[in-house]
Amino acid sequence: MKRRNFLKASALGAVTATAAALPVSQLSAATTSDYFALTIAPANAQMIDGVMVYVLAYFLDSTLASAELRVREGRTITIDVINNDTAVHGFAIPGITGATIPQIASGATARLTFVAPAAGSFLYVDPYKAPLNRILGLHGPFIVEPANGLTTTGSPTPFSQSQLTPQVAAVFNALGGGSPRFPGNKWDPVDPTREKLWLFSQTDPLINAAVAAKQTVDPAKVVSMFLPRYFTINGLSGFDTAVHGTHASPQAERIMASGRQGQPTLVRTMNAGLATHSVHIHGNHCMILTDSDATGVHHLESNVYERDVWMLKPMHRIDVLLPFERPPDIPKAAWPMKEEPWPLRYVMHCHCEMSQTAGGGNYPMGAVTHWEMTGPL
């Protein structure tokens, strides 16, 4: 089994996990459900420098840690949460009405039932003693797919037709030849490779060790004492986020965008940690489609900006479109290239430099990955 492709069960926990800290790609992007059973339990996660760190996680069916939960808009969703930790915990999806369990006693099970809202990207977290339990690992992505994700002219989108702004609809209508700028394909909601997830988080191993040792950690002092050493995307750091093909972990496959020119890709970016990220991508500009605030409320943009960098504050989620267009630094007359080899690879990194060099010392050992264009149209 490859390094960091697993969580080792803690001596304090009852769950043995053979998956990584966030093995989201093991759930297909096309797979949705109306019922989930999550188990809260401690484990040991291996970091980029090989150090094992105590964490807490929501395990799906006792196998997938902090797994991606996908549902369909308008469906009645039921979630059972079993607390196998020795401390009190909770469960909440900020921004979704009725999706909160404030407290779950040790050894107890609590049930949550709610109606899935309009399509969007959400985070599920432990709200008890916030933000302590969240940064220990009790968080994960919650994705709502649209019941009708088409624009009025029939272009597929990841959003509900009723919530589409004219500007966001115009972006998806322009794809696939709707504009001379974007030849190729429409966005494809059926192809899981056309949707990626970048769930940022950070770990301060001293806080995690204090909780493991049953020391009292005041949640009101967590922000002031938080000194992250590890910066992760989907539970991975550095080189591990960007391995592709037969050598890739499931988490890396869910992170790294790969495709030909004209294969636009949705990237759901989220921040479950306490450090603010400045997400910067090379090679293409991204279209900013949605934004949110820490309360969980999100909206579709009424003025779609092209950016190569966007701020991602704690608990914020921003959906962007990576258009897979001809990189603007390559002249039209020289496209496609005659001598340079495919694929073209471009880095994605955070402009907050501490997130790049922590945890193993040398760049790039933190919140960094890349995307690749494998060929022309």
The answer to whether residues 39 and 112 belong to one domain is yes
Determine the Cα–Cα distance for residues 3 and 188; give it in Å rounded to an integer.
Answer: 33
- Please check whether residues 174 and 284 belong to one and the same domain: yes
The confidence score (pLDDT) of residue 246 equals 64
Confirm whether 150 is domain-assigned: no
- Please tell me whether residues 363 and 239 are part of one structural domain: yes
What was the pLDDT predicted at 19? Answer: 36
The whole-chain average pLDDT of the chain stands at: 90
What does DSSP say about strands 69-72 and 139-145: parallel, antiparallel, or unpaired?
parallel
* Best CA proximity match to 232, nearest among 252, 270, 203: 203
The number of distinct structural domains making up the chain is 2
Burial 280-290 (b: 16+ CB within 10 A, else e): bbebbbbbbbb
What is the pTM (predicted TM-score) of this model?
0.93
Query: Residue 300: phi, psi to the nearest 5?
Result: -85, 145
Answer whether residue 186 is part of any domain. Answer: yes
Which of 121, 145, 169 delimits the end of a domain?
145
Name the nearest CA neighbour of 6 among 64, 68, 69. 64
As given in the structure block, the two tokens for residue 304 are 């779609």
Residue 236 and residue 366 share a domain = yes
Spatial CA neighbour of 137 closest among 27, 49, 47, 216: 47
C-alpha to C-alpha distance for 351 and 309, rounded to whole angstroms? 8
- Say whether both 96 and 168 belong to one domain: no
- Model pLDDT for residues 204-213, shown as the tens digit of each residue: 999 999 999 9
Range of weakest confidence among 100-104, 268-272, 352-356: 352-356
Q: Are residues 105 and 167 in the same domain?
A: no
Residues 106 and 235 in one domain: no
Q: Give the pLDDT confidence score for residue 5 in this predicted structure.
A: 43
The residue with greater pLDDT, 24 or 193, is: 193
Residue 90 and residue 176 share a domain: no
> Does residue 64 fall inside a structural domain?
yes
Separation between Cα atoms, residue 117 and residue 122, nearest integer Å: 11
Bigger pLDDT: 25 vs 90: 90
Q: Tell me how crowded residue 227 is: count the other CB atoms within 10 A of its CB.
A: 12
Query: Strands 230-233 and 258-259: what pairing?
Result: unpaired
More confidently predicted of 17 and 73: 73
d(CA 64, CA 58): 8
Range of the domain at 282: 161-196+227-373
Q: What pLDDT score was predicted for residue 296?
A: 84
CATH number of 260's domain? 2.60.40.420
| Same domain assignment for residues 126 and 192 | no
Are 275 and 353 found together in one domain? Answer: yes
Residue 166 and residue 130 share a domain = no
What's residue 14's pLDDT? 44
* Residues 118-133: tens digit of each pLDDT: 999 999 999 999 999 9
Asked if residue 43 lies in contact with residue 4, where contact means CB atoms within 8 angstroms, the answer is no
pLDDT recorded at residue 355: 92
Task: Write down the pLDDT at residue 28.
Answer: 42
CA dist 148 and 134 (Å) reads 33
Contact yes or no for 124/101 (Cβ under 8 A): no
Question: Do 115 and 17 share a domain, yes or no?
Answer: yes
